[in-house]
Amino acid sequence: MLIDSHVNLHAAQFDADRQAVIERARAAGVGLMVEICDRVANFGAVHSLALAHPDIWATVGTHPHEVKDDPGLSADILIELANGEKVVGIGETGLDFHYEFSPRDAQETAFRIHIAAARAGGLPLIVHAREADEAMAAILEEEHARGAFRILMHCYTSGLELAARAAALGAWFSVSGIATFRSAHAVREAIAAMPAERILVETDCPYLAPVPMRGRRNEPAFLPLVLAELARIRDWTQSEAEERTQAAFFNLFEKIPRP
């Protein structure tokens, strides 16, 4: 079974054919999907998708791009929503110093709020990191010292040092279609160094379609292309890559029943 650990099916890009996209995913062998919340204000749409489909689960959180528009965010709010049926993670959260759509201090405050919720609720923290390696590593290490929590470094494209520091905290990592991009040599180098038992795959649809679909709207049905590249980088067979990523997924998302 293939598992897409990061989808954004509530996005407007799927409004015209959302159900067809879900059906194509199933036909491609994708047995489970985790629908990611990009802002707490959208949680209703995210949660509704999970409740409507037996193979979709949900998270709750506000992306670092959006925290400027969520000044009332609190750990209590996240914890309350995370108690809902089929909610299995906190995030997407983290730091993005590339675009800086939200101020850095607001991003860091929101990130710590999400960490507090993940720690209190015992749920995985879905982490976005872009051009913020040192700040990200420092916050993760400082907060982990206060009390352990599970970490998923989603769509990992950061450096080897952050990867090593996160791995030392027991972090999981997810591989996306970026791994297939011709210029993504550093990403493939990081994938080759990831802990073998803590690697997941994702599409991050509708973004980051893998080669040869690059430039198109991404969707979960393209996940086999990501898995194939992971297998190539790690020198795994297809079946080994599928088995390893499935085991890693269920070890991380303990709230989701194993098939």
To the nearest 10°, report the CA torsion of 193, 195, 200, 202.
-20
pLDDT tens-digit map of 35-77: 999 999 999 999 999 999 999 999 999 999 999 999 999 999 9
pLDDT of residue 62: 98
| Closest among 111, 107, 90, 109 to 98, alpha carbons compared | 107
Domain count, the chain: 1
> Quick one: what percent of the chain has pLDDT higher than 70?
100
In a domain, 59, yes or no: yes
Q: Which residues, 6+ apart, have CB-to-CB distance to 108 below 8 Å?
A: 95, 135, 139
pLDDT of residue 168: 98
In a domain, 24, yes or no: yes
Q: Which domain holds residue 21?
A: 2-252
pLDDT tens-digit map of 213-249: 999 999 999 999 999 999 999 999 999 999 999 999 9
In a domain, 259, yes or no: no
pLDDT of residue 221: 98
pTM: 0.97
In a domain, 225, yes or no: yes
Average pLDDT over residues 100-107: 96
Residue 116 belongs to domain with CATH number: 3.20.20.140
Our measurement of the distance from residue 166's CA atom to the centroid of its chain's CA atoms, rounded to an integer in Å, reads 15
Q: Is 215 left (phi over 0), alpha (psi -120 to 50) or beta?
A: left
